[in-house]
């Protein structure tokens, strides 16, 4: 298992790492039939709570269950502390960057980031320029995708500053593990994650707009039940005790945004939106948007409502900007980055592009604006004709692509048909930024269930695991 | 020059609607070429809502009208004192940097013909930025003849060029597209124009383009009238294209009835100006 150069998080050199010691025992004492019983129990529980994840463009059942693997992913307290500091640092720098590019533009004037990468970026929002959102926070929920390649080596794969999804899985995975294996939570001191909803609500309340007096009213704005993450929207609304609304439930009148309720209009102060910028306000962005609220941006700009994340926040998580995040950390915080970036070639640069085209078979190539694992090339897993077709696309529009080495993603023991086998994993923690920066220990571990696969996206057949951080 | 402006937009719906929300950018820009003596925007029956000065310096007001409503009328009246700055936008407070206006939209995207037009126009123009901008404005004026009623609100720059005719909106879009090909920031500007009696000048409710010219800043070019804005022009606001800069952008709630728009604009030279 170690001969491939892949870091196995549980087994190394015949030994078992500290984090997984108790789980080894658990496995040893678990009868095989109990395992399959528990697996079907887990599936039944997921179905009962209704957690499903629709997959775009794959046909079949859009309410497909995302596979849950019962074998937990474990971090020691020592491992987590470094990640925790690194994640907070990154979330702070990304927000400082957003405040800067929509404000004084110091990082551009200092020549640290080329202006065109910012101002010509599709996610750059003209209407956000010069406006300071409450507490200068633009991205209130930062999802940072991490991969591990060695005992102490983690890389940030990408940042998600708009509306990262998946946190409901983090919460449900834990809930279901606790119900199925309560003994594990007695034997192991596992840091809780169930404070997330309370922290999210606190974070959103802490960024109430200027004109809000008293307790801020929070609502989650969803595109509706046909959105793939609708379950998550309603789940979070439920946990926080706030209303889940669609655009048609809100209207603008006077200085504020109002929600239609059976008792008459109720003012909404903070909108946690789970729709894209382009759909927020048909009077400002796409005029054909049926999902947004006409006039919303005017109320936002005049301090009558806050929108989380702020329109334009996406310019910080663009893959072309990603390369510069370590520089941002140095520039705004005066610190060295705690977490490393994956070395990245930008096809927009001539030399980089040449290297990428010459080495496609060894690289992972992504679209600058892509997400969800679509439109990417995994060189080592692709045949010649696929690679050639992709090369043509890069030549046609080099600026649209970046490339990275194929990383030897760490593997974690996973229940598979033949028993237990290592499968590649990543990690998405959810960092909350408001008055304070908050982070629950752990995150969402995604696992590539197909042997050898490196693509962990749930839209590409990945599964999820409960993620433990062990207390000291 | 002292200009009096009366601008009425009347939206008539076939059937009553539940409500209307509008973003209005109907206030003259604060800039060196014009001084507002008096200005009022009135939308009878509407609740005035959020208002703010946006990143590009435009004053935006959002109004909402609760239905049932069949007619919405927006009445603008005012007086503005103008001076000729040879098209240069002076003393205009805005926060958006010019490079943002290198971005094209559906209506200002350049096709092969617009690219060719740009390169042809620039070849004899030399390297002087102002001369290049003039060359582009001239080329657009020549390539697209002024003729109202042939193009639509959604016509793109490429379509207007291929048809060879258009109105001020098409001229502005085409000039923006060409400027982008030449890597010159460019944007769409709306405003009013005092129409001369000789019939040479068209469209009192007007639109043109601004190009960012090194050392001068934003400079207006009006290909429809083959000139730069002078004291006959009143500048309202700007945007990427006609839709983004629209003086009135509205949305009807409850139903999708047919909508008829009647616009009356008069821009007249104030009598006292003679003294």
- The pLDDT tens digits along chain B (275 residues) read 999 999 999 999 999 999 999 999 999 999 999 999 999 999 999 999 899 999 999 999 999 999 899 999 999 999 999 999 999 999 999 999 999 999 999 999 999 999 999 999 999 988 899 999 999 999 999 999 999 888 999 999 999 999 999 999 999 999 999 999 999 999 999 999 997 654 555 567 899 999 999 999 999 999 989 999 999 999 999 999 999 999 999 999 887 888 899 999 999 987 654 44
Given the candidates 3.30.1490.270, 3.50.50.60, 3.30.70.870, 3.30.2420.10, the CATH classification of the domain at A345-405 is: 3.30.1490.270
Is there a contact between B49 and A253 if contact means CB atoms under 8 Å apart?
Answer: yes
Residue A126 sits at the chain B interface (C-beta within 8 Å): yes
Q: Which residues of chain B are within 8 Å of residue A124 when distances are taken between CB atoms?
A: 100
* pLDDT of res. A384: 93
**Coil, strand or helix: which one is B136?**
helix
**CA gap A61, A353 in Å, rounded:** 40
Name the region of A280 (left: φ>0; alpha: ψ -120 to 50; beta: rest): alpha
Residues B182, B50 share a domain: no
Query: Which of B18, B19, B21, B252 to probe the A interface (max A CBs under 10 A)?
Result: B21
Residue A466: closest CA among A70, A40, A30, A87: A70
| Residues whose CB is less than 8 angstroms from the CB of residue B118 and which lie 6 or more positions away in sequence, other chains included | B110, B136, B139, B178, B181, B182
Is there a contact between B250 and A283 if contact means CB atoms under 8 Å apart?
Answer: yes
Q: What sign results for the dihedral spanned by CA atoms B197, B203, B205, B209?
A: negative
| Residues whose CB is less than 8 angstroms from the CB of residue A308 and which lie 6 or more positions away in sequence, other chains included | A140, A141, A204, A207, A270, A271, A272, A273
Instruction: Using CA coordinates, name the residue in chain B closest to A299.
Output: B50
Query: Which of A130, A210, A258 to probe the B interface (max B CBs under 10 A)?
Result: A130
**CA gap B137, B220 in Å, rounded:** 10
Is there a contact between A294 and B21 if contact means CB atoms under 8 Å apart?
Answer: yes
Query: Which of B18, B62, B154 to probe the A interface (max A CBs under 10 A)?
Result: B62
Q: DSSP character for A6? A: P
Place of tokens 């470094």: A82
The boundaries of the domain holding residue B134 are 84-245
Q: Which residues of chain B are within 8 Å of residue A115 when distances are taken between CB atoms?
A: 97, 99
How close are the terminal C-alpha atoms of chain B, in Å?
A: 11
Residues B227, B203 share a domain: yes
Residues B144, B47 share a domain: no
Is there a contact between B48 and A284 if contact means CB atoms under 8 Å apart?
Answer: no
* CA quadruple A218, A224, A226, A231: dihedral, nearest 10: 20
Chain B closest-CA separation from residue A119 CA (Å): 5
Query: Which of A101, A292, A301 to probe the B interface (max B CBs under 10 A)?
Result: A301
Long-range contacts at A323-330 (CB < 8 A, ≥ 24 apart): A323/A402, A324/A112, A324/A113, A324/A117, A325/A90, A325/A93, A325/A94, A325/A156, A325/A159, A327/A107, A327/A112, A327/A113, A328/A93, A328/A94, A328/A96, A328/A97, A328/A107, A328/A113, A329/A89, A329/A90, A329/A93
* CA quadruple B243, B182, B127, B95: dihedral, nearest 10: 50
Q: Which residues of chain B are within 8 Å of residue A131 when distances are taken between CB atoms?
A: 55
* Domain total in chain B: 2
Residues B167, B109 share a domain: yes
Strand extents, DSSP E, chain B: 2-24, 34-42, 47-53, 59-82, 145-146, 165-166, 186-193, 205-213, 217-221, 233-239, 248-253, 259-269
| Residues whose CB is less than 8 angstroms from the CB of residue A419 and which lie 6 or more positions away in sequence, other chains included | none
Q: Which residues of chain B are within 8 Å of residue A128 when distances are taken between CB atoms?
A: 55
**CA gap A403, A345 in Å, rounded:** 5
Place of tokens 């663009």: A318
> Tens of pLDDT along A62-85?
566 788 899 999 999 999 999 999
Residues B212, B259 share a domain: no
Q: How far is CA A439 from CA A330, A468, B28, in A?
A: 22, 14, 48
Nearest by CB to B95, from A130, A251, A298: name it. A130
Is there a contact between A252 and B62 if contact means CB atoms under 8 Å apart?
Answer: yes
Which CATH number belongs to the domain containing residue B26 in this structure?
Answer: 2.60.40.2250
Q: Which residues of chain A are within 8 Å of residue B52 when distances are taken between CB atoms?
A: 298, 301-302
Instruction: Using CA coordinates, name the residue in chain A closest to B103.
Output: A120
Residue A8: closest CA among A70, A66, A71: A71
Which CATH number belongs to the domain containing residue B90 in this structure?
Answer: 3.10.620.30
Max CA distance (Å), chain A = 69
Query: Which of B24, B48, B50 to probe the A interface (max A CBs under 10 A)?
Result: B50
Residue B154 sits at the chain A interface (C-beta within 8 Å): no
Nearest by CB to B103, from A120, A253, A302: name it. A120
Is there a contact between A252 and B49 if contact means CB atoms under 8 Å apart?
Answer: yes
Taking each helix axis from N to C end, the angle separating B129-143 and B168-181, rounded to the nearest 10 degrees, works out to 140
- CATH 3.30.1490.270 domain locations along chain A: 345-405
Chain A closest-CA separation from residue B53 CA (Å): 9
Residue A460 sits at the chain B interface (C-beta within 8 Å): no
Report the 3 state secondary structure along A244-279. Answer: EECHHHEEEECCEEEECCCCCCEEECEEEECCCHHH
Phi/psi of residue A339, nearest 5 degrees? -105, 140
Residue B95: closest CA among A108, A302, A128, A97: A128
Residues B142, B31 share a domain: no
Residues B124, B73 share a domain: no
Long-range contacts at A238-245 (CB < 8 A, ≥ 24 apart): A239/A171, A239/A197, A240/A197, A240/A198, A240/A200, A240/A201, A240/A204, A241/A201, A242/A201, A242/A217, A242/A218, A242/A272, A243/A219, A244/A219, A244/A220, A245/A219, A245/A220, A245/A221
Taking each helix axis from N to C end, the angle separating A230-240 and A196-205, rounded to the nearest 10 degrees, works out to 80
Radius of gyration for chain A, computed over Cα atoms and rounded to the nearest angstrom: 22
Nearest by CB to A298, from B23, B47, B95: name it. B23
Nearest by CB to A298, from B49, B243, B251: name it. B49
**CA gap A363, A145 in Å, rounded:** 19
Cβ burial of B274 (10 Å; 0-12, 13-18, 19+) is exposed
**Cβ pair B26, B205 in contact under 8 A:** no
Where are the alpha helices (H) located in A157-256, listed in sequence order?
A: 167-180, 182-187, 196-205, 230-240
Q: How far is CA A13 from CA A5, A16, A419, A452, B38, in A?
A: 12, 8, 21, 20, 83
Residues B123, B70 share a domain: no
**Cβ pair A98, A312 in contact under 8 A:** yes
Chain B closest-CA separation from residue A260 CA (Å): 14
Residue numbers of A between 258 and 317 with CB closer than 8 Å to B: 282-284, 287, 294-295, 298-299, 301-302, 304
Is there a contact between A284 and B23 if contact means CB atoms under 8 Å apart?
Answer: yes
Q: DSSP secondary structure string, A397-453?
A: -GGGEEEEEPP---EEEEEETTEEEEEEEEEE-EEEESSSEEE-S--EEEEE-STT-
Residue A127 sits at the chain B interface (C-beta within 8 Å): yes
Residues B110, B73 share a domain: no
Residues B126, B239 share a domain: yes
Q: DSSP character for A284? A: T
Is there a contact between A252 and B99 if contact means CB atoms under 8 Å apart?
Answer: no
Nearest by CB to A252, from B21, B54, B96: name it. B21
Instruction: Using CA coordinates, name the residue in chain B closest to A119.
Output: B100
Residues B66, B21 share a domain: yes
Residue B60 sits at the chain A interface (C-beta within 8 Å): yes
Max CA distance (Å), chain B = 59
Residue B25: closest CA among B250, B181, B195: B250
Q: DSSP secondary structure string, A72-132?
A: EEEE-HHHHHHHHHHHHHHHHHHHHHHHHHTTT-HHHHTTSS-HHHHHTSTT--GGGTT--
Positions in chain A short of pLDDT 70:
1-4, 50-64, 370-374, 458-460
Instruction: Using CA coordinates, name the residue in chain B closest to A252.
Output: B64
Chain B closest-CA separation from residue A277 CA (Å): 15
Residue numbers of B between 226 and 255 with CB closer than 8 Å to A: 240, 243, 249-251, 253
Is there a contact between B99 and A115 if contact means CB atoms under 8 Å apart?
Answer: yes
Is there a contact between A251 and B253 if contact means CB atoms under 8 Å apart?
Answer: yes
Query: Which of A253, A255, A286, A289 to probe the B interface (max B CBs under 10 A)?
Result: A253
- A vs B, Cβ pairs < 8 A, gives 90
Residues B170, B98 share a domain: yes
Instruction: Using CA coordinates, name the residue in chain B closest to A115.
Output: B99
Is there a contact between B23 and A295 if contact means CB atoms under 8 Å apart?
Answer: yes
Nearest by CB to A127, from B21, B54, B102: name it. B54
**Cβ pair A118, A108 in contact under 8 A:** yes
């Amino acid at each position: 298992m170690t001969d491939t150069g892949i870091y196995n998080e549980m087994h190394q050199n015949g030994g078992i790492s500290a984090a997984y010691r108790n789980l080894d025992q658990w496995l040893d004492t678990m009868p095989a039939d109990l395992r399959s019983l528990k697996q079907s129990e887990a599936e039944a529980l997921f179905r009962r709570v209704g957690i499903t994840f629709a997959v775009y463009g794959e046909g079949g059942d859009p309410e497909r269950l995302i596979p849950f693997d019962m074998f937990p992913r474990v971090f020691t307290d020592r491992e987590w502390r470094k990640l925790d500091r690194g994640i907070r640092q990154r979330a702070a720098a990304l927000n400082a960057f957003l405040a800067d590019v929509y404000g004084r533009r110091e990082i551009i004037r200092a020549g640290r980031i080329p202006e065109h990468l910012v101002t010509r970026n599709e996610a750059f929002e003209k209407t956000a320029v010069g406006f300071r959102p409450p507490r200068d926070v633009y991205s209130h929920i930062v999802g940072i995708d991490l991969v591990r390649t060695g005992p102490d080596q983690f890389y940030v794969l990408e940042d998600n500053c708009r509306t990262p999804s998946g946190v409901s899985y983090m919460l449900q995975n834990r809930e279901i593990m606790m119900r199925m294996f309560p003994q594990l939570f007695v034997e192991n001191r596992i840091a809780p994650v169930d404070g997330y909803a309370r922290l999210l609500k606190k974070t959103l309340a802490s960024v109430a707009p200027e004109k809000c007096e008293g307790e801020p009213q929070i609502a989650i704005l969803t595109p509706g039940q046909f959105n793939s993450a609708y379950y998550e929207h309603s789940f979070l609304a439920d946990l926080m005790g706030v209303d889940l609304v669609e655009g048609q439930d809100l209207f603008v009148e006077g200085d504020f945004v109002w929600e239609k309720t059976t008792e008459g209009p109720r003012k909404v102060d903070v909108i946690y939106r789970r729709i894209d910028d382009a759909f927020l306000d048909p009077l400002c962005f796409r005029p054909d948007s049926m999902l947004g609220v006409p006039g919303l941006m005017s109320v936002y700009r005049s301090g009558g409502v806050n929108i989380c994340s702020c329109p334009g926040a996406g310019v910080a998580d663009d893959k072309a900007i990603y390369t510069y995040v370590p520089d941002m950390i140095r520039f705004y915080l005066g610190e060295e980055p705690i977490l490393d970036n994956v070395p990245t070639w930008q096809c927009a640069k001539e030399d980089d592009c040449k290297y990428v085209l010459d080495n496609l078979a060894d690289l992972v190539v992504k679209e600058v604006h892509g997400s969800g694992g679509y439109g990417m090339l995994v060189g080592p897993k692709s045949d010649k004709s696929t690679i050639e077709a992709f090369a043509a696309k890069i030549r046609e529009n080099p600026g649209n692509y970046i490339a990275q080495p194929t990383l030897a993603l760490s593997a974690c023991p996973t229940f598979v048909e033949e028993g237990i086998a290592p499968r590649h994993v990543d990690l998405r923690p959810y960092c909350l930024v408001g008055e304070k920066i908050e982070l629950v220990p752990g995150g969402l571990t995604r696992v590539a269930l197909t042997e050898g696969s490196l693509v962990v996206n749930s839209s590409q057949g990945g599964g999820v695991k409960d993620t433990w951080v062990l207390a000291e | 020059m002292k200009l009096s402006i009366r601008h009425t937009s009347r939206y008539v719906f076939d059937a009553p609607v539940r409500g209307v929300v509008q973003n209005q950018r109907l206030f003259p820009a604060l800039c060196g070429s014009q001084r507002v003596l008096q200005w009022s925007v009135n939308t009878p029956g509407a609740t005035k809502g959020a208002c703010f000065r946006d990143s590009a310096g435009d004053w935006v007001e959002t109004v909402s009208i609760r239905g049932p409503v069949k007619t919405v009328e927006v009445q603008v009246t005012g007086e503005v004192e103008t001076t000729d700055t040879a098209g240069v936008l002076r003393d205009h407070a805005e926060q958006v940097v010019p490079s943002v206006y290198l971005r094209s939209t559906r209506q200002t995207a350049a096709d092969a013909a617009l690219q060719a037009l740009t390169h042809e126009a620039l070849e004899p123009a030399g390297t002087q930025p102002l001369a290049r901008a003039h060359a582009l404005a001239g080329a657009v004026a020549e390539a697209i003849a002024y003729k109202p009623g042939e193009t639509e609100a959604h016509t793109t720059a490429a379509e207007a060029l291929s048809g060879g005719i258009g109105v001020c909106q098409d001229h502005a879009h085409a000039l923006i597209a060409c400027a982008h090909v030449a890597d010159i920031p460019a944007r769409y500007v709306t405003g009013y124009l005092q129409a001369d009696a000789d019939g040479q000048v068209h469209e009192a409710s007007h639109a043109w383009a601004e190009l960012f010219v090194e050392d001068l800043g934003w400079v207006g070019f009006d290909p429809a009238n083959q000139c730069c804005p002078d004291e006959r022009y009143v500048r309202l606001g700007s945007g990427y294209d006609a839709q983004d800069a629209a003086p009135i952008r509205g949305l009807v709630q409850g139903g999708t009835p047919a909508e008829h728009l009647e616009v009356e604009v008069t821009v007249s030279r104030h009598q006292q100006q003679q003294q």
